[in-house]
Structure formats: structure tokens, C-alpha cells
Chains A and B, each alone.
Chain A
Amino acid sequence: MRNIFLFIRRYFNFLLFLLLQVVSIYFIVHYSKYHQAMFGNSANKITGRVNNEYNKVEYYFRLKRTNDSLVKANENLYNKLRMDFDVPDTVSKTVIDTIRIDSLLQYRNYIYLNSKVVSNSITSQNNFIVLYGPNVRKFKPQMGVIDVNNSLMGTIMEVNDDYAVVMSMLHKDSRIDGKILKTGETGTVTWDGKTPNLLTLSGIPKSVKVAKGDTIITSGSSTVFPRGIMIGRVEAVYSEKSTSNYSISVRSATDFYNLQYAYTIINFQQEPVEKILEKVKKQQEEGNIKK
């Protein structure tokens, strides 16, 4: 017993060093899984407040660029208005309905809620975006986030009272189902951790004709994003030697260098769909045990 104490006393520094290293590496490995841990939340509140103050200054200096992107978003919306299209048939005649105006509401699948970006990073290999605003309380993990020009930013990881942390597309664990608009093939969009704004689309077979400039959109096969949200455009096409797939380099439509506002997409079908999926999984597991 005495020897153990002597040993600890003698190598106290080295043991402390090992202990602290193990704690750090434990954080690295386990944080992405258990991000609701107590550290995450209390740290968020302090850093969130500092970020907020800093963003007030930064926002002022970027007003011009923010304004430009809002003008572009508005232009897009104006171009989608009904009155822009002249349809020479009688089907689209405007009729004023006498039923309540909100009758559309019950068919609504998605709703977009705005929030302010208070912190954003692009330099590290795991990048996060922090959102702030009155709507943040309605957010939940696994909801999709897009920027003002309707292009994809990331998914929400963690929400506390005032702040939501978003896993940016520029994160090594980010996996998003992408689809080539022209041909309809689906693949997975990831980030290789090097250049911001350059993503990788993998899983597209070599039989598909892909050209530079092709649009990549979300496939809509998950409950996180609706179909057709812009991810980016093809920058270059490389063929993988060992497989029959292409590795496609995609320039992201979102300008990650300048993010000021974000829209979070709430999918009203997310809950029922996930419930049913869980049920099926459970049934299969039970079936496996019986066999």
C-alpha cells in the first residue's frame, strides 16, 4: 500500500498529464454522441452571449453583402408569383373562395422559421453555426437549416433556451442525401475538411453523364429536408479507380463565408414518419430474436 502511495507521489505529474489527456480524448470521441451533456449546455450560454455581442459589430460591417443576398432572394420569390405567368386556359381563372382563407393550412407539410446567425466558423475541420432568435425555442435536433437564398446550410444538433447549434455542411460527420437534378441519381454529399465551399458527392455510378455546372439538390428521401433544396453545382468530376462510382467535386451554393440569417425547416411529417420507422425496426428485431 505504501509503495502505491509513493509511486503516485513520485509520478504525480505524469499521471495527471495522462489523466488530462484521456479526459480530452474522451471529450473528442464522445461529444458528438452525447452532446446534451451538462458541459455543452452551460458552455453554450456563456459563449452564446459573447458571440451575440460580437455579432452586433460584425453584422454592421456586413450589412451590404447581407442586403445584396436578401435582394437576390426577393427577386427569386417575385419570379415565382402567379401573376408572372400568363396561362391561356380557363383552369387557372382566379376564383375567390368563400371558405375560410386558411384552408390551406391543414395541408402544410413544411414551415420556414427565421433566425439570426450569431457565430459561424469555417477554419476548423468540424464547423458549427450558432442561431439565435425568438423562434429558436421551436427548433429541435434533426431539423434542416437553409440560408436566405434557399440553399442548404446544415442540420440542428442541439437546442437550449435561446441558442441552437447547427452542424454545418462543413463538418466531417455531415452526411446529406444529394441528387443530380438533370438525371435523378442520388448520392451522399460530404466534406473532406480542406477547402470551404467545396463538397464531395459520392455514390454516383459511372454510367451517368455528369457535366460541369450540373445542379445538385436534396433528394427528399430523408425527413430533414424537403426535395429540391439547392446544394451546389458540379465543379469537377473524378472517376474512382477501385469502384464503379464517380467522386464529384461540388461547389456549395451557400456562401459559408458570409452567413447572417438562416431559415429552419420544420417538417410536420417528421414525427409520424419516424414513429412508423421505429415500429418497423422494432418488429424486425423481435422477428430476428424469434428465429
Chain B
Amino acid sequence: MSLLVKTIVRFILFILFQFYVLDKIQLHQMVTPYLYFLFILWLPFKMKRGWLMLMGFALGFALDSFRHHPGFHAAACVLIAYVRPFLVNLMIPQEGFETNYEAPSVKSMGGLLPYMIFAGTLCLLHNTWLFLLEAWQFGNVWYFVVKTLLSTAVSLVLIIITELIFVRKQKFKTNTI
């Protein structure tokens, strides 16, 4: 499958799974499980930051139009798309690693721990910004903090499960013959 087709299929599947499966689950009022932003994490290293942000905006806006109130998820997705390249630069273990692999994964980030730090930071940022925007009118600080932390924890568990079920084959590309 070419990259474009793969991206489009992933986009649709993530949105549908988020709205029709995860949003219907009632764990607790403090927990809203989010997984759809994994789409942004899985975009290739090579992609320019401008395109990353536009993709993030499109993803957030698609989920927002299902929920009939545009803006919330779009803002959160744009934020993590903007921060992702900084994090990749920080987390990459050695020079030129991003040219060897296509996209961030457990293997290309060099182990489960770095990848989880990468995913966890972005997840925390996403949830913080999203709940901050949502909580603006309600204004209860403790409620906001606890909800953010719990939702992030649940999202991380979901990310681990997804990574275990859908193993993405990463070809080791190198130009040294």
C-alpha cells in the first residue's frame, strides 16, 4: 500500500473507532479515553511541520463535526502536531536515525520506554489543552487536573494495546552499501 492510501485509511478508521467505540464507553465521569491522535504520532518523519499541522487540524475537525461543536479537538491536534518534531529531535538516539526508519514506532525510537515517553508527552499535551478549553466555563481546577491525568493514563494503555495488536513493519532503510 502506498503511503497516501495508508494514511487515508488510517484517518477514517481512527475517526470511526474513536466516535463509535471509545466515545460510547462509560468508564467513569473522570475518564474520557482518546486514541484517535495516534494518527498524528504515526505520520512519517519526513513530513514537513506545516503539513503535519494541517493534517492535525483536519483530523481534529473531522472528529469535531461528528460531535457538532468544532474547535476543541482541532486545537488540541494542531498543538501536538506542532510539538511532535521537537520531541522527535530530542528523543532520537543517534544521528540520522530518522532517515533509517519511516515513522515513529517502538523499534525506530529505540525501545519501548523512549516511545512511551514520546507518546505520553504528546498525549498529556493533547488532553491538557482539550480539557482546558472544555473546562473554561466550568472552572474547577481539581476536576480538570484529575480528569487530565486519569484520561492520559487510560489513553497510554490503549496505545500500548494498539501497538501490540497492529505491528507496523518498519523497513530498515539505509544508503550505506
Contacts and interface: CB of A to CB of B under 8 A. Distances in A.
A121 B137 contact: no
B74 A193 contact: no
A231 B60 CA distance: 34
B57 A20 contact: yes
Interface stretch (A9-17, A94-102, A133-141, A202-210): A9-17
B67 A28 contact: no
A21 interface: yes
Contact of A13 (B49, B74, B143): B49
A102 to B, nearest CB: 39
Contact of A16 (B50, B72, B79, B135): B50
B71 A13 contact: no
A24 B26 contact: no
A16 B57 CA distance: 11
Interface string B104-120: 00000000000000000
B66 A47 contact: yes
Nearest to A46: B65
A220 B136 CA distance: 31
B2 interface: no
Contact of B137 (A27, A51, A172): A172
Contacts of A193: 135, 137-138
B138 A28 contact: no
Interface residues of B, number: 33
A31 B67 CA distance: 12
Interface string B37-78: 000000000000110011011001000111111111011001
B29 interface: yes
Contacts of A39: 65, 70
A17 B72 contact: no
Interface in A24-46: 24-29, 31-32, 39-40, 43-44, 46
A54 B20 contact: yes
A128 interface: yes
Given A47-B66, A123-B32, A194-B29, A25 B23 contact: no
Contact of B75 (A25, A172, A192, A196): A25
Contacts of B53: 13, 16-17, 20
A122 interface: yes
Contacts of B49: 13
Contacts of A125: 134-135, 138
B82 interface: yes
Interface of B: 16, 20, 23, 26, 29, 32, 49-50, 53-54, 56-57, 60, 64-72, 74-75, 78-79, 82, 133-135, 137-138, 143
5 contacts: A17-B79, A24-B74, A124-B67, A125-B134, A193-B137
